[in-house]
Amino acid sequence: MLSIYVAVFLPFLVASLVLLLLQRRKMKRHLGWFILPVPIILFILLCGKVAAVKSGATFSYTWTWIPTYAIQLLTYVDGLSLLFALLITGIGILVILYSIYYLSTDQALTHFYIYILLFMGSMLGIVFSNHLLTLYVFWELTSISSFLLIAYWYQRKGSRYGAKKSLIITVFGGFAMLAAFLMIYTITGTFNIQEVIGAAHLLKEHELFIPVIVLLLLGAFTKSAQFPFHIWLPDAMEAPTPISAYLHSATMVKAGIYLVARFTPVFGGSLVWFWAITAIGLMTLLWGSFTAIRQTDLKALLAYSTVSQLGLIMSLFGIGSLSLHPNVQLEPFIYTHAVFAALFHLVNHSTFKGSLFMVIGIIDYQLGTRDLRRLGGLIALMPISFTVALIGSFSMAGLPPFNGFLSKEMFFTAVLHVAELDLFSYEAITTFIPIVAWIASIFTFVYSMMIVWQAFTGKRVDVETAGEAQEPKVGMLIPPITLATFVVLIFFFPNVLGDYILKPAVSSVYPNVSFDMIERITHWHGFNKELWMTIGIVIIGTILYRFRNVLNKIFILFPENMSFNTVYNVMIAKSDQLAWNVTSRYMTGYLRHYFIYIFLFFALLVSALLFALQAQDVTLGGNKVITVFDWLLAISIIIAGVTIVIARTRLTAILINGYIGFAIAMFFVIFRAPDLALTQLIVETVTTALFLLCFYFLPKWELPKLKRAFDIRALIISILVGTTFTLVALSVHNNRLFTSISTFFEDAKQLTGGENIVNTILADFRAFDTMLEVIVLFIAGIGVLTLIKYSTNKGADKLED
């Protein structure tokens, strides 16, 4: 059972060990080789589960984390999570191997590998989590690691822009998803995903059903770059190419698809779910493939193609969800087959797109450019890269003998079935679905051909490039060749993948579908509609490719500044402006004003609450007799307080302030609170020392120039605060609202073995608070250090605006 926890936590563990490895320079240079075993070990570990999962077994483990809040580390292994986990680790192996050669050793390798491990661990966390909240935490962690990786070359303006954009959009979706999770929790009363699936009927009857769907899909759509949230993905291409291949094509962007797949048993069958996913998916498919053609940067082209392929997979899940619709009695398995196709295409997409990204990375690495207009005739110089690119692109275009052909045909089958659907009286709309899919596939064909023929054939464009055009080191070629081999192998033996990996995954989306009900993948269906569609795509696509200049006229209809990017940019600029306007109104830079805000807020809110809850109680019964010492101390503190106000020099003020602190310590002594007295004494000492240090920086001591001899406003505020505080102190003492919890600590000796009750509260009963306080203290310390030592003007010359 431990192996799954190992799978999730090993990357995090190794990431923290990387920092320790850094002491030696040599290790730093070859860091990648130390990281490489992590995905390999995990991949082997997970392969060990394949056989058991194929026979229908699922593994679920519970590890109680915070029992009081029912937070558990629940893991759940079934076909679906295993499929994703194998992709994450498998592609992870190749990507890390590729990165070893791709990144030069003088770059910040430690950052790179730590981030990538962080990502791998959190991605595995997403797919293995069976608890909504832990899933959410891992979900946001992938957003954060993606942000860090996109901003890897943070000196570039584009990187910073892209990183911020991806973070804003995906975290926005993440918040929506969190809201959906909380709604699910209030409706079903559980965070356990499997139990939520069991309680699906509760959700369906609830009035929040549609809001839950909308919010959940917002999370999935932003993460999986669905229209109109796709705008972050092309900008994310500022990341190093291995990262683009890994996060922004093979794994992270598929988290949204995972979410949809995971929740299909809950929401599937609802028409809102079907329409939202299918329509958005098809829209993304069409728009992504259309926009891809107009790109000249190869990486941007691949980014839009990823967007469109994700849309394809998404729409298949939408179609697949129909099989759970109560009215689909005739042939529900036609629609489960759509999910089968979706998962199949998901794997295929990872293989062919991964290999394409890596080839383009090679071109970029060798030539220093990836602009289609500057490339050409590379076939003679880089024959291996050409072969890989050919395999990848043809598979993406949906041509045999590559795996993309099989899943594309299955996609057509699914959309054709939906078109025949006549149970919702939406025939007019559903007929459009195959047409949209077909047009998008033509575009896909065109841009796939652009990658192969424009970059590799034609005249060699002689431009000054960074390097000589030749094949890179073998290590850099192995990963793309491996993926290309898979592209071909999966075409010839699709059912090995189908039987062992995909069918268990389908059965976790549809628990009551057995393996036999899913058709095997076949290569030849006869001359049916699907094949004719493919033939049509090849013919029209070739014509369109020949005359692709004509398309430019269409592009004029969609000018750059009329895009969702502009909407995003304007929104960011406007909210920035608004925030600035509001903030600058009250952040005056005067400490005096800030104190007024703090004190007024405290006094008004607390006293209002006190009276609203009728908690005020000022009776003075049963208190300790006030001795002469108490009087003396209290009077001396009052005198000291008044003296500060009229002090002439700053030193006097600081020393008197220190005196008040010591006097309060004396109060603690009289009240027999030695721990508090000790703490107060030392804090007072250290603060006074700190004050003396800061002396140097403080401006000349000037008594505030008062317009009137007496500031009424300040007096009112101070009286208000004083009264509130006294009221609160007395009311707390009389505990009218809550019963005293001190009985809870009476057995401290037996429970914790400690006799000092203050200490047992700090370190045992309320250890969680102490832990967080320690972390806050630490963050404050780091904050001071960075503010003073690394102020913005130092090192700013490295940044490019």
Per CB under 8 A, 788 contacts other proteins: yes
Place of tokens 């250090």: 785
**Residue 634 and residue 726: Cα distance in Å, rounded?**
14
Q: Where are the alpha helices (DSSP H) in 403-517?
A: 403-420, 427-430, 432-449, 455-456, 474-492, 494-497, 503-509
Per CB under 8 A, 651 contacts other proteins: no
Per CB under 8 A, 64 contacts other proteins: yes
Give the long-range contacts of residues 153-160, CB within 8 A, separation 24 or more: 153/238, 153/240, 154/799, 155/798, 155/799, 155/800, 156/238, 156/800, 157/799, 157/800, 157/801, 158/235, 158/238, 159/238, 159/239
> Of 693 and 709, which CB lies nearer to other proteins in the complex structure?
693
Place of tokens 């709604």: 183
Per CB under 8 A, 474 contacts other proteins: no
Min separation Cβ 761 and other proteins, Å: 10
> Of 435 and 694, which CB lies nearer to other proteins in the complex structure?
694
Contacting other proteins (CB under 8 A), which of 789, 793, 796, 797? Answer: 789
**Residue 385 and residue 391: Cα distance in Å, rounded?**
10
Per CB under 8 A, 604 contacts other proteins: no
Taking CB under 8 A as the binding criterion, the range among 113-121, 131-139, 394-402, 768-776 that sits at the site for other proteins is: 768-776
Min separation Cβ 671 and other proteins, Å: 13
Report the alpha-carbon angle 434-435-437, nearest 5.
60
| Total binding residues toward other proteins, as defined by CB under 8 A | 45
> Of 215 and 748, which CB lies nearer to other proteins in the complex structure?
748
Kind plus residue range of the DSSP H or E element containing 791: none
Per CB under 8 A, 644 contacts other proteins: no
**Residue 412 and residue 529: Cα distance in Å, rounded?**
8
Contacting other proteins (CB under 8 A), which of 62, 194, 542, 770? Answer: 770
Residue 3's Cβ-count burial label (10 Å; 0-12, 13-18, 19+) is: middle
Q: Which of 38, 120, 134 is nearest to 85 (CA)?
A: 120
Cβ atoms of 422 and 448 closer than 8 Å: no
Contacting other proteins (CB under 8 A), which of 558, 746, 768, 799? Answer: 768
Per CB under 8 A, 137 contacts other proteins: no
Q: How many angstroms separate the Cα of 216 from the Cα of each of 209, 222, 339, 435?
A: 11, 10, 19, 28
**Residue 269 and residue 554: Cα distance in Å, rounded?**
38
Per CB under 8 A, 670 contacts other proteins: no
**Residue 221 and residue 159: Cα distance in Å, rounded?**
23
Min separation Cβ 129 and other proteins, Å: 17
Min separation Cβ 365 and other proteins, Å: 36
Cβ atoms of 495 and 520 closer than 8 Å: yes
Residue 169's Cβ-count burial label (10 Å; 0-12, 13-18, 19+) is: buried
Q: Would you give the distance in Å from CA 727 to the centre of its chain?
A: 46
Per CB under 8 A, 605 contacts other proteins: no
Per CB under 8 A, 562 contacts other proteins: no
Per CB under 8 A, 784 contacts other proteins: yes
Amino acid of residue 132:
L
Contacting other proteins (CB under 8 A), which of 224, 244, 309, 752? Answer: 752
> Of 63 and 594, which CB lies nearer to other proteins in the complex structure?
63
Residue 371 per-residue DSSP state: B
Restricting to residues 102-121, name those near other proteins by CB under 8 A.
none
Contacting other proteins (CB under 8 A), which of 189, 496, 759, 800? Answer: 759
Contacting other proteins (CB under 8 A), which of 44, 771, 799, 800? Answer: 771
Taking CB under 8 A as the binding criterion, the range among 193-201, 642-650, 675-683, 730-738 that sits at the site for other proteins is: 675-683
Min separation Cβ 787 and other proteins, Å: 8
Taking CB under 8 A as the binding criterion, the range among 185-193, 417-425, 545-553, 774-782 that sits at the site for other proteins is: 774-782
Cβ atoms of 389 and 451 closer than 8 Å: yes
Per CB under 8 A, 598 contacts other proteins: no
Rounded-to-5 percentages of helix, strand, coil across the chain: 75, 0, 20
Taking CB under 8 A as the binding criterion, the range among 86-94, 266-274, 654-662, 764-772 that sits at the site for other proteins is: 764-772
Min separation Cβ 116 and other proteins, Å: 22
Binding mask 10-49 toward other proteins (x if CB under 8 A, else -) reads ----------------------------------------
> Of 555 and 768, which CB lies nearer to other proteins in the complex structure?
768
Q: Which of 348, 339, 171, 175 is nearest to 263 (CA)?
A: 339
Kind plus residue range of the DSSP H or E element containing 74: strand 71-77
Min separation Cβ 242 and other proteins, Å: 30
Binding region for other proteins (CB under 8 A) = 63-67, 674-675, 678-679, 682-683, 685-686, 689-690, 693-694, 696-697, 752-756, 758-760, 762-764, 767-768, 770-771, 774-775, 777-778, 780-782, 784-785, 788-789
